[in-house]
Amino acid sequence: MKQRAVVLLSGGLDSATCAFEVQAAGYAIHALTVAYGQRHSRELVAAQRIAESVGATEHKVVQLDLTLWGGSALTDASIGVPTQGVSGGIPSTYVPARNTIFLGLALGWAEVLDAEAIYIGVNDIDYSGYPDCRPEFIAAFQRVVELATRRTVEGGRIEIKTPLQELSKVQIVRRARELGVPIDETWSCYMGGETPCGVCDSCRLREEALAAAGG
């Protein structure tokens, strides 16, 4: 029987590449997508397609309304999405405590599944300045896992794995191609719409990386 892993899958390039890394590692993939009130549903559609492409054992979509308190350009339409390029500081697209919330949800499911790992596609090099993408945060959450779950208290382990943590965006694109990720099926744009806006931080990082990687 395959080992099980819960994989946080947003539908973006990084999370898709992460999911295919899990496939390559031989785990049974239990994909988890959170519909948290983000600006658009395009990434949710992308997540479904990626889950199918990677052969996920199952794919759950959790409904969680973070618009109740907003605080981010992705959950509050009155806050503008930055389009002037990536700059210093934490941008308005940061969703307060998002990865803490998502990992908490993934942890609950991992316990029920008796899963060995939780995978998340965070990256500490080419990212927009989000504090919950840093290695220090992942290490701290790993400690939470060790203290807070029956499985770990009884001598087992649930490991938080971040295979993209130290890769540049260009390296992620190249790895995605090696793994056979259907890049065109992924969605990274913050704005939604029929086609990517091309000017938000996420679009800029993605397009620059695609160009630098030769396509």
193 pLDDT band (50/70/90 cuts)? confident
Q: Is the pLDDT of residue 186 over 70?
A: yes
Mean pLDDT over each residue of the chain, to the nearest integer: 93
The whole-number pLDDT of residue 128 equals 64
Q: Is the pLDDT of residue 129 over 80?
A: no
The whole-number pLDDT of residue 87 equals 63
85 pLDDT band (50/70/90 cuts)? low
Maximum Cα–Cα distance for the chain, whole Å?
50
Q: For residue 37, how many other CB atoms are within 10 A of its CB?
A: 17
The whole-number pLDDT of residue 125 equals 74
The whole-number pLDDT of residue 214 equals 84
3-state secondary structure of 9: coil
Residue (of 49, 29, 34, 8) closest to 162 by Cα position: 8
* Under 8 Å between Cβ of 54 and 82: no
Q: Rg of the Cα trace of the chain?
A: 16
Instruction: Give the CATH number, domain containing residue 150.
Output: 3.40.50.620
* Half-sphere exposure in the Cβ direction for 76 (13 Å, CA): 14
Length of the chain: 215
* Under 8 Å between Cβ of 189 and 202: yes
Tokens of 46: 């992308």
The whole-number pLDDT of residue 161 equals 98
- What domain count does the chain have? 1
102 pLDDT band (50/70/90 cuts)? very high
* Under 8 Å between Cβ of 32 and 44: no
Residue percentage of the chain with pLDDT more than 70: 96
Question: Residue 170 is part of which domain span?
Answer: 4-212
Q: Which amino acid is at 147?
A: L
10 pLDDT band (50/70/90 cuts)? very high
The whole-number pLDDT of residue 24 equals 98
Tokens of 109: 């499911």
Residue percentage of the chain with pLDDT more than 90: 84
Residue (of 30, 86, 49) closest to 183 by Cα position: 49
Average pLDDT, stretch 127-141?
A: 89
148 pLDDT band (50/70/90 cuts)? very high
The whole-number pLDDT of residue 88 equals 67
Question: CA 107 to CA 114: how far, in whole Å?
Answer: 10
Tokens of 208: 């620059």
Find how far residue 103's CA is from the centre of its chain: 10
Least confident span in 37-51, 72-86, 93-107: 72-86
Q: For residue 24, how many other CB atoms are within 10 A of its CB?
A: 14
The whole-number pLDDT of residue 31 equals 98
Angle at 67 between CA 191 and CA 82, to 5 degrees: 35
